[in-house]
Structures are given as structure tokens and as C-alpha cells.
Copies of this chain bind each other. A is one copy, B any other.
């Protein structure tokens, strides 16, 4: 049906489908932010009235859950074939990357539990599986799981507010906020920006892996601690 050259973006040929709706929703959220993702705008994006969407999707919530699941599925799933440390490290960096491509996704994934996001369940299951297979007690695995996910989601939350990709942009934002800051009220923030963040050797992106390795080092020791001492609930 009409695979002509003059087909413009406003005239979608493919029939509407759940899948096309979710892809368009991700595009829209990436481009204009999650708060701009409305049923009406999404319909417009697909060359259709908002009400047509309800033929393929129960409601907006199903769309949010769907796009959270798609992004969640982009994250590396920890495997028992590698050591726990490399598995945890790869997953953490993969998650950081996914949330950096889709800054709205971390909020959606962590907030949603009533129907939980399937990708999140797979992630959690694989994490615990990897840790258990490599000798972590059940309590130590719970600790490791909790610390790592708080760190990863916490980072993703901060990064939403820092929308830059290159070191240059970090410097630009730092200079801008420095200019607005009441300098005598926050002397230590001023020092941090001028004496550290604006220095040539600083890379914001490296901060994530530094903290990650710091936590992984600490978990290394946790693994060797016997059940009770790791706070398993055995008194």
C-alpha cells in the first residue's frame, strides 16, 4: 500500500499497533521529556486521534509500563558465567548508559510495583542468582543488591538534572551555576567548582565508576563474612 517516494512523516502507512505506539512514546519522551508525553501528542505523532490509541492499549499507564520495560530490557542481564564482580559491574554500567539515553526511564522503573516492570524482575532475579552462585549468603546477596541498586538509581536520578554529554558541557554548567551562586554563602561549593570541576583533568563520567568500584570493593569483603555477622537476621 503506497510505498511511494512522497510519503511524508505526517502520513504513516503502517497500521497502528501496540508496538508502534510504544516506540513513538519512547521517541517523544526522549525528545521532549516524559512530562510532554500525552495521549494527544502521541496520537499526533502517529498521525491519528488520541482516542485511537485506546484500541491498542488499555490506558496511559500501560504505555508507561511498556516503555519502562523496553528500556529495562536494554540493560545487560547479569550472567552466572562470569564472576559476580564483573557481572555486577557490567550491569551497573549498562544501566547507567540506558538511563543516560532515556533519562525518564529510571523514575518509571523504580516507581512501578503494582504491576511490576517485568524487566526489573528479570534484573533482580539475575542479580540475586549471580551473587548466590558465587558464594554470597542470602543475606549478603540482599545487602549487595540493595546497595548497588540504590547507587545506580540514585546516580540516574541526579543525572536527570545534569543534561550534558561532554566534559565541555559539564564545565559550561559549572561556570553558569558558579555565576549565579551567592559565593560567600557557599564557599565550599565554590571551591569544589573552581578548584576541581573546572580543572582540565576532571571527568564527570568517571565519577560513576569510581563510586561503583568503591562499593564493589566493599562487597568483596562482605562475601567472606559468615551468615550472622553479615546481618542475615540470625542474631
Contact = CB atoms under 8 A, between A and B. Distances in A.
Interface in A209-235: 210-211, 214-215, 217-219, 222, 231-235
B196 A142 contact: yes
A196 B139 contact: yes
A186 B191 CA distance: 48
A235 to B, nearest CB: 6
Contacts of A215: 147, 214-215, 218
Contacts of A150: 150-151, 154-155, 157-158, 211
A116 B177 contact: yes
Interface string A153-196: 11101101110000000000000010001000111110110011
A165 to B, nearest CB: 17
Nearest to A181: B121
A138 B191 contact: yes
Given A125-B189, A142-B192, A196-B232, A151 B147 contact: yes
Interface of A: 107, 110-113, 116, 121-122, 124-126, 128-129, 132, 138-139, 141-143, 146-147, 149-155, 157-158, 160-162, 177, 181, 185-189, 191-192, 195-197, 199-203, 206-207, 210-211, 214-215, 217-219, 222, 231-235
Contact of A211 (B112, B147, B158): B147
Nearest to A191: B138
Nearest to A234: B201
13 contacts: A110-B157, A121-B189, A124-B186, A129-B187, A138-B196, A142-B207, A143-B214, A151-B151, A200-B233, A201-B233, A206-B231, A210-B231, A215-B215
Given A138-B192, A151-B151, A214-B218, 17 more contacts: A112-B161, A113-B177, A122-B186, A125-B188, A128-B188, A132-B188, A138-B196, A143-B211, A146-B211, A150-B155, A153-B157, A153-B158, A201-B233, A201-B234, A215-B218, A217-B218, A218-B218
